Amino acid sequence: MFTLLGPHFLQRIREATKFAEARWTEYKTSIQRRVLQLPPHVARTIGNGIHHPLVLSLPNSETYLKGALREYQQIVQPHSGTSQLAKDFDPSRAVPQAISNYLKTYQYLEETECDIVDDAQYIPQSTLACEERCSELSQRMKVYTGHVATAYDNNPEEKSIMLLALMEMWMSMDKCAIRVYPLLKDFAPKLTPVILVRCSSLV
């Protein structure tokens, strides 16, 4: 029986689908918003001096724009055909204090890291100078890590540079300590692979 009625059912399904699609298309067309085409050229005036509605006039911004120009003219005054800044003009006002502090922090860190690399190979000859060098490097490491704080968080490259800088100072301090106390050369520095794993987790 299905063999006999199957084609009839399929035909009715096709007709119902076609009818539903036609009604849906008709409905979408009825609710579609008409978009008018823009003219290729827009005249500035319609006639009798009336401005075209597509021309930006900003009638409510006149007061604000005049005030902005007046404030600018108070700072920059004309002089011999060129612009000259007022004598009391403070350049630091142009940059927010937060941004200025941000730039100073990274500038200081960059300069400190360059100094560490340049100064890492210096080992004094005398024992007393080596002792002073160890104290200086220890204090320098504390100051450096204090300035870094959270500046290098979420930045693996800068964090790696920080760890290398600390290791450079540590190695220099170790060499000075060995010169003061040669017996330390017979003992391992305790730099195990676990330390490298911990350093990589910091990065």
What pLDDT sits at residue 125? 87
Predicted structure pTM score? 0.46
For the ranges 17-21, 79-83, 90-94, 153-157, the maximum mean pLDDT occurs at: 17-21
Alpha-carbon distance 45 to 53, whole Å? Answer: 9
- In the chain, how long is the greatest CA-to-CA distance? 112
What pLDDT sits at residue 70? 77
Examine the pLDDT at 111 and tell me if it is beyond 50. Answer: yes
80 band by pLDDT with thresholds 50, 70 and 90: very low
Domain boundaries, the chain: 97-202
